[in-house]
Amino acid sequence: MRKIIKNSRGSYYINIPKEIIRKLRWKEGQRLEVDYKGQAVIITDWKK
């Protein structure tokens, strides 16, 4: 379970466990696409 956090600029974020980031081989600064379907948020690697 994760909590939604609001920063001082008004944006929201959630923390993703480092084990998941490593398994997906995502790196700091990597571009991602964020979409949603119904009540689900879909995060995928950004394709040029």
Show me where the domains of the chain are located: 5-45
- So what's the pLDDT on residue 1? 87
Tens-place pLDDT, residues 20-42:
999 999 999 999 999 999 999 99
Q: CA–CA distance from 9 to each of 6, 12, 17 (Å)?
A: 8, 9, 23
Give the number of other Cβ atoms within 10 Å of residue 2's Cβ: 9
- So what's the pLDDT on residue 48? 76
Q: CA–CA distance from 42 to each of 8, 9, 22 (Å)?
A: 25, 24, 18
Q: Model's pTM, two decimal places?
A: 0.71
Counting other chains too, the contacts that 37-40 makes at CB distance below 8 Å and 24 or more residues apart are none
Best CA proximity match to 45, nearest among 19, 25, 23: 25
Task: Report the chain's mean pLDDT, rounded to a whole number.
Answer: 94
Q: How many percent of the chain have pLDDT more than 70?
A: 100
- So what's the pLDDT on residue 17? 95
